[in-house]
Amino acid sequence: MPVSPTKSQARKAVRALAKDYPDVTCALEFATPVQLLVATILSAQCTDKQVNIVTRTLFQEYPTAAEFAEVDLPQLEKAIKPTGFFRNKAKAIKACCQKLMELHGGEVPQDLESLVALPGVGRKTANVVLGTAFGIPSGVVVDTHVARITRRLGLTQEKDAVKIERELMELVPKKEWIDFSHRLIHHGRRICIARKPKCDECSMKRFCPRIGVATS
């Protein structure tokens, strides 16, 4: 059965990214699945670098779900303030960890349905935790970098993250879902940046149609 042009394009991207970033890992620092879950909630509208600065102290004070479940909200808000949207994030983290204590003995469940049922946990966060903490390919993490680069490559025309994820799950082999996301995120930070992508330095320049990239 012939491979569609879009699927062929996806395969080229998978190969190029694997060659460029063979040992890629999640940029968030964590020691346990609970810590990764908290860090991922904090990463919304915030850089991973800033989150890591905050969590180095935060996780010493609150190493497990039990401590986050009991924390006073104003105290938590103050600790995570540099990540932005700190009031909503503090509420989400406390409520999430209370549910972890109540329903899962303080441990992070290893299935998508249970994870997205937790307060403050959407599909993207669940995919990050399952893929990075447990090696479970539940889906493709779609952040701003992944969305931008896959549109530029012609792998999707969608703007909604869930729709982009569905398309990528059809195009990319399941065994590649976890690393593919990590590699795209690293590529988006280093090469395929939003305003002035370094196309001349990109290993995908031979086959990338550069959709939406302004030409000088």
Residue positions annotated with a catalytic role: 124, 143
At residue 23, the 3 state secondary structure works out as coil
Place of tokens 């329903």: 103
**Token pair listed for 100:** 């972890």
CB 70 within 8 A of CB 100: no
CA distance 204 to 1: 26
CA distance 79 to 95: 16
CA distance 75 to 197: 41
Question: How many CB atoms within 10 Å of residue 156?
Answer: 22
CA distance 26 to 83: 18
Which amino acid, residue 207? F
